Structure 1
Amino acid sequence: MKKLTSLLLVLLLTSILAACGGNEETTSDAGDKSAPAEEKQQLKIGATSGPYADMVSNAIKPLLEEKGYEIEVVEFSDYVQPNIALGNGSLDANLFQHKIYMENFAAEHGLELSELVVVPTAPMGIYSNKFNSIDEIEEGSELALPNDPTNLARTLMLLEGLGLITVDGTINQLTASEKDVVENPKNLKLQPIEAGQLPRAVDGVDVAAVPGNFALAAQMDLLSALALEDMPDDFRNRVVVKTADLDAQFAKDIQEVVQSPEFEEIIDRDFQGFGKPEWMVNR
């Protein structure tokens, strides 16, 4: 019995010592985990299908790969999921939206999003299969334009700049409507429709104002427009990241490649008609 008791005491002491050793090892491991994590080398960048997915794939991705990154381009068919995916960490960056949309979406969904760099953007265009110039547009012509407030505000400013209408003061980007028009000297029949349908509308109306991304998706030639928008930078698309990642190395590298001469060369070659942001024009 004494021998059995001694054996049990030895086993108990051994178990206690082993447990203490295990705790020390765990503490040491925890210390290692507190060390700074390595910077990301595998990035997922989201973009809407069409010209901006092409811009990521053909211009941004290869330049980042030269820096040693592995890039996966994730394409979306809507304007909601790219920001949701960025907010939940499924993406590291996205490219599809302008400043006003980004700020309102972030506020509505409780997201912390920030722009990284503004990129060349396909402008709104005035298209017609009936007229060859703005001056030829006749009295009472039917003009299709986007029905969503942000794109409609851009269209009204474009039409005002062309002398076709006059609007009432400053247009609210979130509530704009055709009711903002106070002067319409040619009595144009303004017909707001869903923006994605505007390329098809070119064949059915006298004139149509088509946002650049939808024009390109329908394989329209931007340079065939009667007039193209000289958009302010707030309406140009930008690369967006989570605000917490603004100072991350991958974010700095994305900004560097977009602002490189090599990126602009690709834009000039493959994205003709895209309006360049102020930083690119003025450098």
Structure 2
Amino acid sequence: MKKWLTLLLIATFALVLAACGTADDEGAQGNGAATNETADENNEAANEGEKTTLVVGASNVPHAEILEQAQPLLAEKGIELEIEEYTDYIFPNQDLDNGTLDANYFQHIPYLEAQMEEHGYGFVNAGGIHIEPIGVYSQKHESLQDLPDGAVILMSNSIPDHGRILSMLENEGLIKLDPEVEKTKAEIKDIIENDKNLEFEYDYEAALLPQLYQSGEGDAVLINSNYAIDNGINPVEDAIALENEQSPYVNVIAVRKGDENSEAIQALIEVLRSEEIQNFILEEYEGAVVPVAGE
């Protein structure tokens, strides 16, 4: 009898242990499945919410305004565009070099090349976006032909811009440059004919030239379109002469060497060259800024 009771108790105890083990195993498997499912959901959500941030330095006008139009288009591609605005031509390249910026958008090709040569920057032109025709402005004269003998011409102190300005004046028949000198690198000393005895003053920051024009300084002032527009000057209506759209001075997206083929930079170039952005440039600036489709 005692032996039978003992066997019965052992059997009952074994069944209880088996039942408990099964319940624990099922619970463990159930919790594991739930945990894995939650992790998958979290990963999926993280992937869906993941964005690439692109920080681009730009001049206020028109560069930053153009980039603002590009922001929603880039957002559709999962790229958050942050725009850092600058009012000078020095810091955007310094900040690109030190890694504060991923790219900048403010300078034309000759200026970029001169900066790289002077400072040893390891930059690359990732793509051209637009041209800002440089203009001649005067409060005293209605045309370049009206400039008197000895007229004072005010220019920026940016040497890379001098070749551009002098080439424009040569095209207008006011001066003649040494044919041995590359046009984009021409300087005042390279003028070999100057029938009107024009006097060139070039000790001014480019950003100050609109104020000099508005205050009536000099006989004529050479102003980049971005600075003109930023100061309420309409290049198409106010300039007595305007650089034509064949200018080689294309404004570009500059990046550090090796970044030009990144997906984010390629997406930025694609958007800025899109029909939507090009139409915005044409409609907004009415010829004062001209979009380009290629480099």
- Measured against the shorter chain, the TM-score band is 0.7 to 0.9
CA distance in 2, matches of 1:40, 1:87: 24
Report the Cα offset of residue 240 of structure 1.
Answer: 1.4
For residues 192-244 of structure 1, the C-alpha deviation after alignment (integer angstroms, 9 at most, x for no partner) is 23133322332122222112222223221111211111366642210112221
AA of the residue aligned to 1:52: H
Please say if residues 236 and 277 of structure 1, whose CA atoms lie closer than 8 Å, have aligned partners that are also in contact.
Answer: no
Give the aligned partner of residue 283 of structure 2: 269
Please say if residues 47 and 76 of structure 1, whose CA atoms lie closer than 8 Å, have aligned partners that are also in contact.
Answer: yes
Residue 63 (structure 2) pairs with residue 52 (structure 1): yes
Residue 257 (structure 2) pairs with residue 243 (structure 1): yes
1:196 aligns with one of 193, 207, 213: 207
Report the Cα offset of residue 40 of structure 1.
Answer: 5.9
Report the Cα offset of residue 190 of structure 1.
Answer: 2.5
Report the Cα offset of residue 260 of structure 1.
Answer: 1.0
Q: Structure 2: 5+ residue runs without aligned partners?
A: 1-49
Residue 266 (structure 2) pairs with residue 256 (structure 1): no
Give the aligned partner of residue 53 of structure 2: 42
Give the aligned partner of residue 63 of structure 1: 73
Secondary structure, counterpart of 2:88 in structure 1: coil
1:184 aligns with one of 161, 170, 194: 194
For residues 44-95 of structure 1, the C-alpha deviation after alignment (integer angstroms, 9 at most, x for no partner) is 11112332222222x3223212323212111123323222322333222110
Give the aligned partner of residue 164 of structure 1: 174
Give the aligned partner of residue 33 of structure 2: none
CA distance in 2, matches of 1:104, 1:134: 29
Secondary structure, counterpart of 2:84 in structure 1: strand
Give the aligned partner of residue 229 of structure 2: 216
**What is the aligned residue count?**
243
Check 1:42–1:61 CA distance in 2 against 1; reply closer, same or farther (3 A cut): same
Report the Cα offset of residue 275 of structure 1.
Answer: 4.6
AA of the residue aligned to 2:64: A
Give the aligned partner of residue 241 of structure 2: 227
Secondary structure, counterpart of 2:133 in structure 1: coil
Tell me the TM-score normalized by structure 2: 0.73
AA of the residue aligned to 1:132: E
Check 1:89–1:233 CA distance in 2 against 1; reply closer, same or farther (3 A cut): farther
AA of the residue aligned to 1:260: S
Question: In the TM superposition, what are the counterparts of 1:29-178 in structure 2 within 5 Å?
Answer: 41-57=52-68, 59-171=69-181, 176-178=186-188
Larger Cα-atom Rg: 2
Q: In percent, how many aligned pairs have the same letter?
A: 33
Secondary structure, counterpart of 2:105 in structure 1: strand
AA of the residue aligned to 1:181: I
CA distance in 2, matches of 1:81, 1:158: 28
Secondary structure, counterpart of 1:239 in structure 2: strand
CA distance in 2, matches of 1:157, 1:73: 33
Secondary structure, counterpart of 1:219 in structure 2: coil
